[in-house]
Structure 1
Amino acid sequence: MGKLAESRVETEKLLFSGITGNVLILGMVSFLTDVSSEMIYPLLPLFLTTVLGAGPAFLGVIEGVAESTASLLKLFSGIASDRVSDRQKLVLFGYTVSACARPLIALAATPAFVLFVRFFDRVGKGIRTSPRDALIADSVDSSLRGKAFGFHRSMDHAGAIVGPLIATLLLTFFIKDIRTIFWLAAIPGLLAVLLIILRVRDVSRKRGENGAFMRMVPRGKLRAYLIILFLFTLGNSSDAFLLLKAGQLGVTPARIPLLWMFFHLVKMFSSMPFGALSDRIGRRSIIVSGWCVYALAYAGFSLAATELHVWLLFAFYGLFYGLTEGVEKALLVDIADPGERGGAFGWYNFAIGAGALPASLIFGIIWQKAGSQAAFAFGAFLAILAAILLAFLINTKENPGKRR
């Protein structure tokens, strides 16, 4: 029994090493916030179209305005976080704005009110994201950043699983009014805010210097990395197109939520292991592998012919997220100057947001004009191109795991 106990302790140490207090609490905050968010947003299209009488075009306007707002604010909040004394206050303010705004959708009598609420929800996200990621980076040893960001993404995906399940159970057995679900979504959101107040603290770090905006524009290797990320993102269209393809191949509306939950399970279970692996063998090779998985998955979707193909491809495609989401952030921290990490995350989020806006439009036009095979082929091509550029232009000489 003694040896078994020792073995269990060593396993726990290996599993949780690098998950410091801030990393753990911010992971729980993201879990609760995603539970709150995902209780609402899967129901939002139905609420807009059947209750408020909006059309698909207005839904597109809402999401376009929301994500554009978040992308811009992530840039400026990241730059600001390098120059403030306490990033925890920025993180707290951002989560509080979203937690208070999101449930107000229950009061909506017009589609315009939903646009108003969604705008302020994304304002909160834009304010909190870059400072939060910079705080995670500074709260953990550099040799364990991949694992820390992987853990954070795993908790986020876990919330994306639990939220819709709670909403489904409530609507099936206890509640008939969608607006009640929106009000109840305030509970996990406010719990997340409470956790930040009680447990999240800033850590000492090199502060950025005040200066002209152009001094904040990325240079050198960081600029090259962000340009490559932008190129990849241009081919990374909304996953809604994958669900559209799944429906065309026979996945019924009743099974779509199960497919989506299965997809998030793969992302949840793969994020932390691949993040930890990047700490040992280097970030670049993991990201290149992830982008190659993306290209192969998109090629597979272009050729898929049965529902079985769809389920297998969604499982494979989920690995792309596990390989890249946390590791891309860890590589960003490896490259960026310690005093400008918040700004680096701001530019990172801005580059991805700027690429995501036209990505789905381009994909949809290609699908409509040349068919789904051509659209998926376009996404696969850009992923391979970006992987080649990353492999040859971003030289990470040392293994992150060998640093302090």
Structure 2
Amino acid sequence: MYLASVGPLRTPLRRVPGNVPGNVLALGVVSLVTDVSAEMVTAILPLYLVFGLGLNPLQFGLLDGLYAGATAVLRLAGGHVADRWRRLKAVAGVGYALSAVAKLGFLAAASSVPAIGAVLAIDRAGKGIRTAPRDALISLSSDPATMGRSFGVHRALDTVGAFLGPLVATLVLWASLNDYNSVFVTSFALAAAAVILLTAFVRDHSPHTPPARPVGRMQALALLRDAAFRRSCIWAAALGLFTITDSFVYLAVQRRWDIDAGLFPLLPLGTAGTFLLLAIPLGRLGDRIGRWKVFLGGHLALVLALLVVSGPLGSWWLVLALHGAFYAATDGVLPAAVGPLLPEHLRASGLAVLQTGQALARMAAAVTVGLLWTLWDLRPAMLTFTAGLLAVTLAAAVFKPLEVRR
């Protein structure tokens, strides 16, 4: 099927006030609870690995890269299976359940770095499996004209979880006298609750027109024949090569302003707070002026954040605010921009192709930042990535893909 032949999408699902589909809200609540669980671990992991186990930046970069994208290929498998079986909810549920079980793996891993790496791989495998089917559900449950708002609402709810996660982790650490195992157990309980919510409240969504034949393994990659989709994937991956992962941003902030280690788990709150405030407005802005413009604007916000953390002026709260603006302008806006380019019966597979390239690129970025930090120190590493990100963002603005016109 050629993408140009895809007609307007029909969305018969019942809407709630504000024209946001109920399925989108249900998925948002699932993501909220899941993100509380995930961010509890994310908030303490850099502190635990760098300050607790004494990893150097390169070692941490290898683990952080693994966390960011080593299992990215499973996004392709998750998207393909979801489309082939026409069971988006079931495949997403498997991913959520796998990540929940991985939280218990931290208890067994203890201080073993290889074991922690294996647990991180399992956790990211779960995320890789669930992301494309979940985003396909959001896309198929939404009207194309307001898809940016739908993704914005979902990401806003998701970010409430990201905001609460570090607070819950800090509270659990305080109540347990800095027992990291207590954080992992609490994280597992919340992740399990999210799986139950998904099962009870999220409705599956199949294409309105079933494919004439079963979805084959190569059909998703054949989507790359379309110029607009191919350019979207290429530029998303190219930008990912110069996108510094969250953990390195927080470590850079901690080092630049000598923030107390006890406050380190709270740094993601600055990012999450800005993300929460801007996710819906920027999603609606993308619906009006073009989602690709907003997506690239988000990368310019990240460029400014890296310049501040590398320079003599500015403050840590400005870095975190810009970091949150970057996510608000990119995380939900990209699938909202690309989703309408894809036929319904290959929506999960196509988004998986897009997200896999982006995840693999960010994995390479994490390892490279760790290497440059080890060889050159913080400031040269940050400035190198800032220059690269700015150059690719400007190039993507010139050679941008075409969006679906309403």
Provide TM-score, normalisation by structure 2.
0.84
**Is it true that 1:262 corresponds to 2:275 in the alignment?**
no
Structure-1 residue corresponding to 2:384: 378
1:247 to 241, 250, 254: 254
Distance 2:189 2:70 in 1: 25
Deviation for aligned residue 1:394: 3.0
**Is it true that 1:392 corresponds to 2:403 in the alignment?**
no
**Contact 1:29–1:193 under 8 Å retained in 2:** yes
**Contact 2:231–2:401 under 8 Å retained in 1:** no
After superposition, the Cα gap between the structure-2 partners of 1:391 and 1:43, relative to the gap in structure 1 and judged at 3 Å, is closer
Structure-1 residue corresponding to 2:204: 202
Deviation for aligned residue 1:264: 1.5
Structure-2 residue corresponding to 1:213: 218
Instruction: Give the alignment of 1:164-243 within 5 angstroms.
Output: 164-173=166-175, 177-205=179-207, 206-207=209-210, 209-211=214-216, 213=218, 216-217=221-222, 218-219=224-225, 220-243=227-250
1:130 to 121, 129, 132: 132
> Which region of structure 1 is more displaced relative to structure 2, 57-66 or 292-301?
57-66
Distance 2:346 2:388 in 1: 29
**Contact 1:18–1:140 under 8 Å retained in 2:** no
Structure-2 residue corresponding to 1:117: 119
Amino acid at match of 2:38: S
Deviation for aligned residue 1:222: 0.8
> Which region of structure 1 is more displaced relative to structure 2, 71-80 or 181-190?
181-190
Distance 1:300 1:45 in 2: 21
SS state at 1:83 partner:
helix
**Is it true that 1:312 corresponds to 2:318 in the alignment?**
yes
Query: Structure 2: which 5+ runs fail to align?
Result: 1-14
After superposition, the Cα gap between the structure-2 partners of 1:21 and 1:246, relative to the gap in structure 1 and judged at 3 Å, is same
SS state at 2:315 partner:
helix
Distance 1:290 1:60 in 2: 24
Deviations 1:200-254 (A, max 9, x none): 1112314554335276242221111111111111111223333333233323224
Amino acid at match of 2:328: G
> Which region of structure 1 is more displaced relative to structure 2, 25-34 or 379-388?
379-388
**Contact 1:225–1:390 under 8 Å retained in 2:** no
Structure-1 residue corresponding to 2:8: none
Distance 2:384 2:156 in 1: 29
SS state at 2:362 partner:
helix
Deviation for aligned residue 1:168: 1.4
Instruction: Give the alignment of 1:275-290 within 5 angstroms.
Output: 275-290=283-298
Structure-1 residue corresponding to 2:30: 29
**Is it true that 1:335 corresponds to 2:341 in the alignment?**
yes
Identity %: 29
Deviation for aligned residue 1:344: 1.4
Distance 1:96 1:286 in 2: 33
Deviations 1:78-131 (A, max 9, x none): 122222122111011111122223134224456244344333222221211111
Query: Structure 1: which 5+ runs fail to align?
Result: 1-13
**Contact 2:47–2:264 under 8 Å retained in 1:** no
Distance 2:347 2:307 in 1: 36
**Is it true that 1:301 corresponds to 2:306 in the alignment?**
no
For this pair of structures, how many residues does the alignment match?
384
Amino acid at match of 1:278: G
Distance 2:22 2:29 in 1: 11
**Contact 1:304–1:310 under 8 Å retained in 2:** no
Distance 1:393 1:213 in 2: 27
After superposition, the Cα gap between the structure-2 partners of 1:398 and 1:62, relative to the gap in structure 1 and judged at 3 Å, is closer
After superposition, the Cα gap between the structure-2 partners of 1:280 and 1:87, relative to the gap in structure 1 and judged at 3 Å, is same
Distance 1:49 1:398 in 2: 45
Structure-2 residue corresponding to 1:271: 279
**Contact 2:26–2:201 under 8 Å retained in 1:** yes
**Contact 2:32–2:157 under 8 Å retained in 1:** yes
Deviation for aligned residue 1:141: 0.8
**Contact 2:299–2:393 under 8 Å retained in 1:** yes
Distance 1:65 1:360 in 2: 9
> Which region of structure 1 is more displaced relative to structure 2, 139-148 or 16-25?
16-25
SS state at 2:267 partner:
helix
Distance 1:181 1:124 in 2: 19
